[in-house]
Amino acid sequence: MVLLSLPSLVVVAAVLLNLFTAASTTTAASAATTVHADFQHLKVREAIDTMTKIRVAKTGENHDELVFQGKDQRHSSDASGKWKLKLLHRDKIPVGDDYSSNNNNITNWDYHHRFNKRMKRDVKRVGALIGRVSTSATNAATASSNYEVADFGLDVISGMEQGSGEYFVRIGVGSPPRSQYMVIDSGSDIVWVQCQPCNQCYRQSDPVFDPASSVSFSGVSCASSVCDRLLENAGCHAGRCRYEVQYGDGSYTKGTLALETLTFDQTTVRNVAIGCGHRNRGMFIGAAGLLGLGGGSMSFVGQLGGQTGGAFAYCLVSRGIESTGSLEFGRAALPVGAAWVPLLRNPRAPSFYYIGLAGLGVGGIRVPIPESVFQLTELGDGGVVMDTGTAVTRLPTAAYVAFRDAFITQTASLPRSPGVSIFDTCYDLNGFVSVRVPTVSFYFSGGPILTLPARNFLIPVNESGTFCFAFAPSPSGLSIIGNIQQEGIQISFDGANGFVGFGPNVC
**Residues forming the active site:** 185, 387
Closest of 295, 291, 303, 308 to residue 346, by C-alpha: 295
CA distances from 452 to 40, 212, 338 (A): 10, 48, 15
237 by DSSP, 3-state: which? strand
> Residue 242 is inside which H or E element, if any?
strand 240-246
- Measured between alpha carbons, how far is 382 from 493 in angstroms, rounded to an integer? 21
For 71, which DSSP code?
A: G
Please write down the HEC assignment for all residues of 386-438.
Answer: ECCCCCCEEEEHHHHHHHHHHHHHHCCCCCEECCECCECCEEECCCCCCEEEE
Contact 25, 447 (CB under 8 A): yes
Closest of 110, 80, 116 to residue 98, by C-alpha: 110
Closest of 350, 301, 311, 327 to residue 145, by C-alpha: 301
List of long-range contacts for 130-135, beta carbons under 8 Å, 24+ apart: 130/474, 130/475, 130/476, 130/478, 131/248, 132/349, 132/351, 132/352, 133/346, 133/348, 133/349, 133/352, 133/380, 133/381, 133/478, 134/348, 135/348
- Measured between alpha carbons, how far is 352 from 355 in angstroms, rounded to an integer? 10
- Measured between alpha carbons, how far is 384 from 373 in angstroms, rounded to an integer? 10
Q: According to DSSP H, which parts of 441-505 are helical?
A: 483-486
For 139, which DSSP code?
A: -
CA angle 471, 475, 481 (to 5 degrees): 40
- Measured between alpha carbons, how far is 458 from 440 in angstroms, rounded to an integer? 10
For 296, which DSSP code?
A: S
